[in-house]
Amino acid sequence: MGEVWRATDTRLNREVAIKVLPAAVAGDAMRLARFTREAQVLASLNHPNIAAIYGVEEHALVMELVEGPTLAERIAGRAMPIDDALGIARQMAEALGYAHDKGVVHRDLKPANIKITPEGTVKILDFGLAKAMSTDASASGPGEATTLNSAATMAGTILGTAAYMAPEQARGQNVDRRADVWAFGVVLYEMLTGERPFGGATVSDTLAAILTAAPDLERVPAGARPLLRRCLQKDPKQRLRDVGDAEILLENPFAAAAPARAAALPWALLGIVVAAAVALGFLYWRERPLAPAPVALSLLPPPQFEFAADPIHNIVAVSPHGDRVVFSAAGADGTGYLWLRRLDSVTSQRLNGTANAISPFWSPDGQEIGFGQNGELMRMDLAGGPPVALASAPDLWGASWGSRAVIVYAESATGTLLQIPAQGGIPISAAGLAMGTGRAPAAGSTLPGVYPWFLPDGQHFLFVQSDGTIRLGTLDSSATRVLVTQASSDAIYASGNLLFKQGSTLMAQPFDVKRLALTGGPAPIATVAGNPLVENGAFAASSNGTLAFLPPAGAGAVLGWYDPNGKLLSTVQSADITHAPNLSPDGRRALTTVNGDLWIVDFATGTRTQFSFDGKSSVGIWSPDGRQIAFGSSRGGHWALYREPSDGSAPAQVLYDGSAQLEYPSSWSSDGKFLLASTNRNSKTPAIGILSLSGGERLLLLGPGTRTVNGQFSPDGRWIAFQGMTGEGSQIYLTPFPGPGGMYRVSLGDLNEEPRWSRDGKWLYYLSGRRELMVAGVQAQGASAEVRTPQPLFGPVANEPFDEYDIAAGGTRVLALRGSDIAPTLTVIQHWPQALKH
């Protein structure tokens, strides 16, 4: 964070602390200006337990000088007396609760940022400065994250910070006051035990413990465990909502309930302890834990390597615990290698000795992997050591490692499904199932079995035939039976479902592993690479809800930020985007549509989160407050409009399900009362619908037959810009809302489309027929408007046309979608079964 000096304020004759900013901040005008703005906000905090900020001088921050040791020095690896720890925790909770009420989150709470004055007063330092020091120029507002990447740029801070990061902060996601609640719990645990609840030899080990390990609450006094359990919930939705609740609980002497001291308690005090325990139990159980929402990640291939869909050999395998994936990626010379990627890491590790490896699969304990390589079946210990050959296996067509230490595999040379002990031995036929010969069956013939997958009992396994039937086999019998008759891929069992493809759609069908029977119909969950023929499905899953698959390849699009000169500033998203983008009201996120599902792109963290999972959704738009998303979907068998909370906290509700078949919501009025949506522009009479969200009359703008689409409310809600289509082309018009009034033509030439307003309502943008981004000044008063001649914002974009776009506040940046051929990425969805419930 820089250097800190003790200094004298000669004007007020007082001692102060001066924090000199590091050169990276002092030399960056934009970051310095943002730092100054943040410091001004933080200076508004006036609380006895928060170190005050007096002012910002050139390249320096003037702060209250706090005498005394830091809490880290007080702890020094030793448990503190309970009364001392509780007294400090109460003051911390008071300070945090005050700041949170002011909309300020600390983001970097740790013992080194907490000082204890000689009088015993707690002072929290550096409130919010983790955000102010961030390298992310888009960070603004109390909800933004302090990401690991930005923290890592602050020399000397990451090792001390990592141990106190909340799981969502460690992942680089948005954080709010609940991240401070987590850090408060970590600090309280450390005061009571002398040690951190999550530690490791390296930053990676520490972050892995935060994301996966459970804290040892047996080491803290029994009465403190419910509070710490609430503070240290990994899912922020299940965490203590407000640190003020902790402050109330800390007023009770619950720590005295530790077993070693309980016998000495007076009866009156024991009654207080029991009452406090009942209160804690009520607070703990009154909010039932919410099931974690699905979270989708896009994993890029390693630099200079690419994923490649392979119709014969699977390219990805998910570890049994869902925390790692192994995948195959090839370099420019065509040589493929296996790579290991932890989902809490940002890099992939190439596994030595895996050149030309195919069809990876995991051991049941997640400690080893198997694969085919140069005509042999191999196994490899991930803890170290070279791969070991188990048997000859030319052209491995899938393998599975069962819980009884048996591997079943399929390869083209012998024409059978084979089984072999996992430690090696002589392969024998698996239940006498012939696979057939050759890489492809003769005309009219059937490959009796490939791509085996063990069920949890280690005795039964799934396999697929080339006629599209998925069968159930067993190690000790040649009898098999059909489970699914119309599959296009192999099948696996995960999270109570069989997963398999029908065409390019990945389906999930409930399956009872005890009765070995299907218990429901299939439901679509994703669109996966491949073709309708029976093949390896390019997907994998763990037993606890992590799914990985390769999306369809082909022409996609690049979503990027452009300056007014048309220069690409940064790439935001590379995927097969079909509709994009719609900026959130605060400009921090954008909605895109990829293969029929909505995704939310977070600019601060660089993460993408899948929002819908039906594969049948169209354009989505934000509500004026950013808390709702409206979108069109054919999930019910026909097009309707839906509304759903942007955080996914409740199921979608139908907004409109009428005969107009509105598919594309385009604009939400600033007062939240009206929604504009369009029918399909390829219909005979495309039209715009005006929906009253209060349940009133639903109108069609300008009526059927006028061919209007893409309506956009002005920021003040008094005008609508829209695209009117004729036989000769399309123009951009203005009309007052709710009327009456005439229409005002804005555009020049033909084939104009995609109108967008500036945030202040003074400018209107659109795309011309030459794919130029045009801008026209608008002055509107009452029911009349004056439109100035449109001018190009920047030159034509020729071979890389803008497909869709949105304008950032101030008009200084354009978020635009441009067509491009995109190398495939690997999609990983955690907690995917929750999507089936919606």
Residues carrying an active site annotation: 108
Query: DSSP letter string over 641-682?
Result: EEEEETT--S--EEEE--TT---EEEEE-TTSSEEEEE--TT
- CA gap 725, 276 in Å, rounded: 69
| CA nearest neighbour of 154 among 127, 134, 168, 138 | 134
Scored b (16 or more CB within 10 A) or e, 741-778 reads beebebbbeeebbbbbbbeebebbbbbbeebbbbbbeb
Cα–Cα distance for residue pair 23/757, rounded to 1 Å: 39
Which residue is it, tokens 């460690």?
Answer: 170
Distance CA 823, CA 305 (A): 10
The residues near 18 (Cβ < 8 Å, ≥ 6 apart) are 4, 5, 6, 7, 57, 60, 61, 62, 63
Q: Is 233 helix (H, G, I), strand (E, B) or coil?
A: coil
Distance of alpha carbon 838 from its chain centroid, rounded? 18
Q: Report yes or no: 296 and 592 within 8 Å, Cβ to Cβ.
A: no
Distance of CA 569 to the CA centre of its chain: 23
Kindly provide the residue ranges of all beta strands, DSSP E only, lying in 679-821, ordered along the sequence.
688-692, 699-701, 708-713, 719-725, 730-736, 744-745, 753-757, 763-767, 773-781, 784-787, 791-792, 802-807, 814-821
Question: Could you tell me the two tokens for 770?
Answer: 């030459």
Sign of CA dihedral 480, 482, 484, 485: positive
Q: Is 728 in contact with 713 (CB distance < 8 Å)?
A: no
CB atoms within 10 A of CB 651: 10
Peptide bond connecting 738 to the previous residue in cis, omega within 30 degrees of 0: yes
Q: Rounded to whole angstroms, what are the CA distances from 618 to 578, 713, 835?
A: 8, 20, 18
Would you list the DSSP string of 139-195?
Answer: --STT----HHHHHTSTTTHHHHHTT--HHHHTT----HHHHHHHHHHHHHHHHHSS
Taking each helix axis as running N to C, give the angle between helix 82-101 and helix 177-193, from 0 to 180 degrees, rounded to the nearest 10: 170
Chain centre to alpha carbon of residue 512? 31
Residue 288 CB contacts under 8 Å (≥ 6 apart), including other chains:
none
Q: How far apart are CA 530 and CA 518, in angstroms?
A: 25
Q: Are 825 and 298 in contact (CB under 8 A)?
A: yes
Please state the separation of Cα 181 from the chain's center in Å.
21
What span, in angstroms and rounded, lies between the C-alpha atoms of 155 and 165? Answer: 17
What's the angle, vertex CA 269, arms to CA 263 and CA 274, rounded to 5?
A: 85
**Residue among 523, 461, 522 nearest 493 (CA):** 461
Cβ partners under 8 Å of residue 649, min gap 6: 237
Q: Dihedral (C-alpha) 660, 666, 670, 673: value to the nearest 10 degrees?
A: 20
First to last CA, the chain: 46
User: What does residue 411 show for φ and ψ, rounded to 5 degrees?
Assistant: -145, 155
Q: Which residues pair with 148 in a beta bridge?
A: none
Please count the CA atoms within 13 angstroms of the CA of 606 that sit on its side-chain side: 15
